[in-house]
Amino acid sequence: MSDRVVIVGGGHNGLVAAALLARSGRDVVLLEARPELGGLAATRELIPGHRVDAGSHDLGMFRRSVMEELELGGHGLELIEAPAVAAVPATADSSAVVLWPEVARTVEGLGQVSRRDAAAWPGFVFELAERAAALEPLLSRPLELADMGRLLIAPELLRTLSSPLEESLRERFENPSLLAALCGVALPATGLGPRANGTGWPLLFHCALGGSDRLAPVVRARGGAGALASALAASAAASGAAIRTGAVVSRILVDAGRVAGVRLADGERIEAGAVISTATLSVTFLDLIGAPLLEPRFVRRVLNVKYRGAAARLALSLDGLPAFRGLERPALTGRIVLAEQPDDIERAADAAKYRRLPPRPWIEAALPTALDPTLAPAGRHLLLATVHHLPFDLEGGWATGGPELLARVAAELERWAPGIGGLVREHAVLLPTDYEADYGATAGALHHGEMNPSQSLWLRPTASAWAGEPLPVDGLWLGGAGCHPGGGLTGLPGMIAAVSLLRG
């Protein structure tokens, strides 16, 4: 048996696994289908001369200890922390709200819109941090049965994570913009509106990984999120890992119930004693292993994974900074949530449920050039508008739905930042179907399976087990966002895979 470890997928999780394993002296080959590394956190020149992040551009949840161990700083990674966490601009009917990492600064701003909310904010942040801290230890290793006790003895934590987010938030807050900001931070990639049960979980998750004692700040990599992938690749290569792009794995080879290696689309065969797949569960099991090799009840389990809550990204090259009402420049550095109230998100989720476009899409916007001007040619600004809660299987299809969505997004942007239309010079779009076609993200799911309690913690597969049972193929490990603790730019699934494999 070969002691080589093959890693399928060069997203950040695959790269973390590759770097950690190579550092421990393992013979590692990483295979990425695309020409560039980074997966859903790659930076591409989607607009000539611009460095556009295809997916995540926030490293706030990325595990610091992994950065240090892999010496990513030494391999060219430079972090920039955004002054603002999230902001909602003002409209004719609603007020602007800005959330800062610093409690006092947020309280000061909230005082202008609601004295009650301002007074409630410190207690909220404290309690959130406390609950997130209780959760955090469960997120960086495979779960054990004993961990269940931690949750069961914390009824408030359990209640928060299983309740509708809006309901929990309304216990404290009244201002619609503030509620929208928090929902906008939490709900991408859940497929659920804020009135759905279980939507407390993603906010806790976000805070547990993003900030121990304060609201998780937005952190960017200089040069775009792809700089993280480059640094990880450099670290891995320095430890001897072979990293290949343009290498499409077409089969994980199984011999008598054990992985034997992989076969590439061009026919090349690479022997391996272990394979870590960071592709989605659907791709890994149904396409790469193949359903006929798996037990039917396991196939059914794979088919039952929910991938709702797709997103589209519109990148705009602008002539200048757009004028979002009521927001000063530092407030534009974090997430800009374009929703007046939680119901705007709820209605988008409703439409998606019926396979329709939201009449008024809610948008998570970002202006990465506000922090890092090198991303666009001089004088230009880059606006990334992410439309969440979209149906993947849109009624009528994306060929006609795409342009229609674009028109609706343009109208929304104009409403929030009057005059923005006149600033646009170039644009690029990635639709849910593009995410699936380009990155193998099943149903366009950003997190390789939606993040709700029914697909989290014990219910999400971990590196070597799923639902308490070992994976059906020996020598196969899972290391992508589809496994515990889940999606987002955390590096944790990849780290857990590497650590589990090293422990054997």
Question: Which residues form the interface with ligand FAD (CB under 6 A)?
Answer: 8-14, 31-34, 39-41, 55-56, 58, 61, 248-249, 278-279, 283, 311, 313, 386, 435, 439-441, 446-447, 480-481, 487-489, 493
Of these partners, ligand FAD, another protein, none, which one is at the site of residue 365 (CB under 5 to 8 Å by kind)?
none
Per-residue b or e along 282-302, where b marks 16 or more CB atoms closer than 10 Å to that residue's CB: bbbbbbbbeeeebeeebbebb
The interface partner of residue 435, options being another protein, ligand FAD, none and the CB cut-off 5 to 8 Å by kind, is: ligand FAD
Residue 164's binding partner among another protein, ligand FAD, none (Cβ under 5 to 8 angstroms by kind) is none
- Closest to ligand FAD by CB, 120 vs 339, is 339
35 binds, among another protein, ligand FAD, none (CB under 5 to 8 A by kind): none
Q: Does 467 bind another protein (CB under 8 A)?
A: no
**Residue 171 CB, nearest distance to ligand FAD (Å)?**
26
Q: Distance between CA 25 and CA 403 in Å, rounded? A: 50
| Cβ distance to ligand FAD smaller for residue 39 or 164 | 39
**Residue with smaller CB distance to ligand FAD, 113 or 285:** 285
> Of 17-25, 141-149, 297-305, 400-408, which part binds another protein (CB under 8 A)?
297-305
One-letter amino acid for residue 368 of the chain: P
Which ranges of 136-199 does DSSP label H, i.e. alpha helix?
A: 145-152, 155-162, 165-170, 176-186
DSSP, residue by residue, 9-42: --BHHHHHHHHHHHHTT--EEEE-SSSSSBGGG-
468 binds another protein (CB under 8 A): no
Q: State the minimum distance, in angstroms, from the CB of residue 191 to another protein.
A: 23
The Cα–Cα gap between 343 and 184 comes to 11
Give the whole-angstrom CA distance, residue 100 versus residue 197.
27
Instruction: Give the nearer residue to another protein in terms of CB position, either 244 or 300.
Output: 300
Size of the site for another protein (CB under 8 A): 11
Q: 10 Å Cβ neighbour count for 202?
A: 28
Q: Does 465 bind another protein (CB under 8 A)?
A: no
Minimum separation from the CB atom of position 229 to ligand FAD (A)? 9
Under rule CB under 8 A, residue 286 binds another protein = yes
416 token code pair? 């929030």
Cβ neighbors of 171 (< 8 A, separation 6 or more) are none
For ligand FAD, the closer of residues 113 and 139 by Cβ is 139
Query: Which of 153, 303, 467, 502 is the binder for another protein (CB under 8 A)?
Result: 303
119 binding another protein? (CB under 8 A)? no
Please report whether residue 297 would count as binding another protein according to CB under 8 A. yes
Given 154, 291, 424, 428, the residue binding another protein (CB under 8 A): 291
Pick the closer one to ligand FAD by CB: 179 or 209.
209
Q: How far apart are CA 366 and CA 57, in angstroms?
A: 9
Site for another protein in 200-259 (CB under 8 A): none
99 is written with which tokens? 């959330």
User: Which does residue 286 bind out of another protein, ligand FAD, none, counting CB within 5 to 8 angstroms by kind?
Assistant: another protein
What sections of 211-337 are H helices per DSSP? 226-238, 281, 296-303
Using the minimum distance from each CB to another protein, give the nearer residue, 111 or 290: 290
Judging by beta carbons within 10 Å of its beta carbon (0-12, 13-18, 19+), is residue 107 exposed, middle or buried? Answer: middle
300 binds, among another protein, ligand FAD, none (CB under 5 to 8 A by kind): another protein
Q: Is 264 in the site for another protein (CB under 8 A)?
A: no
C-beta closer to ligand FAD: residue 342 or 488: 488
Q: Which does 303 bind (CB under 5 to 8 A by kind): another protein, ligand FAD, none?
A: another protein
DSSP labels for 249-283?
EEEEEEETTEEEEEEETTS-EEE-SEEEE-S-HII
Q: For residue 209, give Cα distances in angstroms to 75, 126, 252, 459.
A: 23, 15, 32, 19
Nearer to another protein, 294 or 365 (CB): 294
Asked if 59 contacts 66 with a C-beta cutoff of 8 angstroms, the reply is no
- Residue 485, preceding bond cis, omega within 30 degrees? yes
8 A C-beta contact, residue 312 and residue 362: no
| C-beta closer to another protein: residue 259 or 409 | 259
In angstroms, give the least distance from the CB of 313 to ligand FAD: 5
469 binds another protein (CB under 8 A): no
CA distances from 77 to 68, 165, 234, 302 (A): 11, 35, 10, 36
281 with 267: CB under 8 angstroms? no
CA 214, CA 336: separation in Å to the nearest integer?
19
Among 290, 396, 418, 422, binds another protein (CB under 8 A): 290
* CA 67 to each of CA 13, 75, 76, 117, 400: distance values in angstroms, whole numbers, following the listed order: 13, 10, 11, 36, 43
Binding interface with another protein (CB under 8 A): 286, 290-293, 295-297, 299-300, 303
